[in-house]
A and B are shown apart, each in its own frame.
Chain A
Amino acid sequence: MSALKIKKGSSKHSAYNLRPNFSDVTETHTIAVLVENEPGVLARVIGLFSGRGYNIESLTVAEVDHQGHLSRITIVTKGTPQVIEQIKAQLGRIVPVRKVNDLTVEGPSVERELALFKVEGSGEKRVEALRLADIFRAQVVDSTLESFVFQLTGTPDKIDAFADLMRPLGLIEVARTGVAALARGA
């Protein structure tokens, strides 16, 4: 892990430059990209990641402004600070991209993901699954005599934790939406 290096002249403008740009520590960042919702725009964003060898941990996309035809793409990605800066700069130069925000560095943000879990079982295991679901505040959205479908909203960590608990109790299928995120405050 390399130390924070502050070169003369690089720090007086903004605290943004204080980050060790060329450190080799891998960080996880959540990046929100506002794009014009035109055909192929998602392919451009994904193509950028595959073409330049960047990681996508999670990706969600939906139109958020129907009148202005704007979609919000939320990408969770991993890389060294230099790679993260490159990703943002590269995203920024895609023509239909209006705005790129790094929610991880631009102050506190909230992240939520929704997941559906199908858990099969009977007897003691079935009761235990229901009990844990209650603790996690998961909702039952479908039920048969041998199965439940739980709906859970939370951070990716919480969803991972719930999945780990459900696995020995008969978890057979998971569907996750990927992360949606917003900066806190006004």
Chain B
Amino acid sequence: MTRQMTGAKMVVQALRDQGVDTVFGYPGGAVLPIYDEIFQQNDIQHILVRHEQGAVHMAEGYARSTGKPGVVLVTSGPGATNAVTGLTDALMDSIPLVVLTGQVPTFMIGSDAFQEADTVGITRPCTKHNWLVKETEKLSKTIHEAFHVATAGRPGPVLVDIPKDVQFASADYQPKPSANTRHYQPQVKGDMEMIEDLVEAIETAKKPIFYTGGGVINSGPAASQLLRELVEATGFPITSTLMGLGAYPASGKNWLGMLGMHGLYEANLAMHGCDVMINLGARFDDRITGRIDAFSPDSRKAHVDIDPSSINKVVKTDIPIVGDIAHVLEDVLALWKSRGRKINREAISKWWKQIEEWKTVDCLSYKGSDTVIKPQYALQRLEELTKGMDRYITTEVGQHQMWAAQYLGFEDPNRWMTSGGLGTMGYGFPASIGVQQAHKDALVINVAGEASWLMNMQELGTATQFNLPVKQFILNNERLGMVRQWQQLLHGERYSQSWSESLPDFVKLAEAFGCKGISISDPADLDDAIMDMIKYDGPVVFDCMVEKHENCFPMIPSGAPHNKMLLGDDNATNAIAGKGAVLV
């Protein structure tokens, strides 16, 4: 049974059929017919943003915290171009988004019409796929297809460009197909022979390590459950990328902490020294590997990834498995159990002894202070006072992001939203709004630096309007901290343009938008101030003045291997002189 309706009505109907409850958007000339339909219904809530970039990051926050695709609606031209950063961010971090853009009417396309841009051309390299819909007959089918492509296989952002005349014209609505006939059907089940190889490697490994990434989280809750089961059963140590935090609980006994450029000493050393590396849904990013030719030189590497192009892209893999993490882990577990749950117990316990020794380095220690708030201390207190709560964390990009990853513990997947691949300053605040919209009663905190946060601060208006009580935990060092750190370590302490001049009074700024502002600089006030922030029923801007020249350690300098980590300012100074990098 088909129904005739306008293209604009189809859009809303298709979203409803896809189970969408929230759309983040901003109206404009080329999407007015769709906004007219949104006005006349109550099933889908529209969150009016203050800038289209904010809309896309909100949708990302929504998607990452729920596992459902985030939906964005913006107008043609500047509406679409403002969405580009968010699309690229979502592509790099494999976040499912469906972005709908208005377009000038088909008969005006190519005439340099008002607010015309070649949206599908501009967004082709920053979406998983995109469509320009020129006939209303194809609109509903295309939107359903868009949801399928965004979520199937390796998730990613898609965009549907809808000219205004297509929104006005009428055609038959095609409901969501029950069976998916599309040709795009990525492989989810891993090759059994390769899985057998992996099980064999697990059985014989002497110094194994699980190296997990965002793929475990994207695969869904079952993947995290199976991962936990496998890790507990084998007793192998586990580390994770920035993207994968929470798949295995931070309180788990096999947890080594995050790895990579600012990862933990024991995690990086274990990666360097392992004999079997089991990569689950991570992609050997350059922040992880450091110098490629010195990356984990003596290990056999297994790599499970749903995207065949991730395998052998940067690091040669001995056991490549293309498939969905949950499907593959299920097969691995079943096979390993049926073969008698074998592991090399003696070697593994020796391996753990070595790891425990590395742990004694206590790489996250820092010099405390009674007079200024150390950023690490601020995060430790935040962790202490909020752990156990129904808590979601987003971050901006920079030092604070790395400290948050180091000092906050994540017990479950989908609780940690950060811009990993693209490293988008300005991501965290709108993302926190998207998360809060999806989890109204949860505590949503954006750990931010003042410079990143200012990039999308206009969204304070959105938080106030929709009564979304997000907490903006700003570690304010009046610097672009990570840039400053690199300038100190690599550019002779010439701090070119890395000062935050003319900062606003964050308390007044918050109040001007109808939010609560808190400003503190004394470590003694920190706990009370954090509790005030948590208890306040509304958005809070928490301006925490911290030590200005604190550096983020441990650090693997760019181009160095894992075993040449810098642990603190002392050996960092020497590293610049070319001698003192820590060799283990």
Q: Give the residues in chain B near A10, CB-CB below 8 Å.
A: 318
Q: Give the residues in chain A near B312, CB-CB below 8 Å.
A: 21, 82, 85-86
Contact segment of B117-125, B424-432, B534-542: B117-125
CA distance A85 to B128 in the complex (A): 20
- Is there an interface contact between A36 and B183, defined as CB atoms closer than 8 Å? yes
Q: Which residue of B lies closest to A87 (CB)?
A: B309
A33 to chain B, nearest CB (A): 14
- Is there an interface contact between A89 and B308, defined as CB atoms closer than 8 Å? yes
Given contacts A7-B318, A9-B319, A43-B124, are A93 and B132 in contact (CB under 8 A)?
Answer: no
Q: How many residues of B contact A (CB 8 A)?
A: 27
CA distance A86 to B319 in the complex (A): 17
Given contacts A9-B318, A13-B194, are A51 and B125 in contact (CB under 8 A)?
Answer: yes
CA distance A89 to B320 in the complex (A): 13
User: A residues 124-170 with Cβ under 8 Å of B?
Assistant: none
Given contacts A39-B132, A85-B312, are A47 and B193 in contact (CB under 8 A)?
Answer: no
Q: How many residues of A contact B (CB 8 A)?
A: 26
A95 within 8 A of B: yes
Q: Which of the residues B130, B153, B308, B316 comes within 8 Å of A21, measured between beta carbons?
A: B316
A133 to chain B, nearest CB (A): 43
CA distance A138 to B149 in the complex (A): 49
Q: Give the residues in chain B near A43, CB-CB below 8 Å.
A: 121, 124
- Is there an interface contact between A92 and B309, defined as CB atoms closer than 8 Å? yes
Q: Give the residues in chain B near A93, CB-CB below 8 Å.
A: 153-154, 307-309
B197 within 8 A of A: yes
Main secondary structure of the interface of B (DSSP, over half): mixed
B313 within 8 A of A: yes
Given contacts A13-B193, A86-B309, A89-B308, are A95 and B128 in contact (CB under 8 A)?
Answer: yes
Given contacts A36-B183, A43-B124, A98-B183, are A9 and B197 in contact (CB under 8 A)?
Answer: yes
CA distance A94 to B158 in the complex (A): 12
Given contacts A9-B197, A98-B183, are A47 and B313 in contact (CB under 8 A)?
Answer: no
A177 within 8 A of B: no
Q: Give the residues in chain A near B300, CB-CB below 8 Å.
A: 7-9
Interface 0/1 of B123-136, CB less than 8 Å to A: 01100111010000
A40 within 8 A of B: yes
B135 to chain A, nearest CB (A): 12
- Is there an interface contact between A92 and B308, defined as CB atoms closer than 8 Å? yes
User: A residues 30-81 with Cβ under 8 Å of B?
Assistant: 36, 39-40, 43-44, 47, 51
CA distance A36 to B131 in the complex (A): 13
Q: Give the residues in chain A near B318, CB-CB below 8 Å.
A: 7-10
A28 within 8 A of B: no
- Is there an interface contact between A95 and B316, defined as CB atoms closer than 8 Å? no
Interface 0/1 of B188-226, CB less than 8 Å to A: 000101100100000000000000000000000000000
Q: Which residue of B lies closest to A50 (CB)?
A: B125
A16 to chain B, nearest CB (A): 11
CA distance A9 to B317 in the complex (A): 11
B291 to chain A, nearest CB (A): 16
User: What are 30 A-to-B residue pairs whose CB atoms are below 8 Å?
Assistant: A7-B300, A8-B300, A8-B318, A9-B197, A10-B318, A13-B191, A13-B193, A22-B316, A36-B183, A40-B124, A40-B130, A43-B124, A47-B124, A47-B125, A51-B125, A82-B312, A85-B312, A86-B309, A86-B312, A86-B313, A89-B308, A89-B309, A89-B313, A92-B308, A93-B153, A93-B308, A95-B128, A95-B129, A96-B129, A98-B183
Binding site for B on A (CB under 8 A): 7-10, 12-13, 21-22, 36, 39-40, 43-44, 47, 51, 82, 85-86, 89-90, 92-96, 98
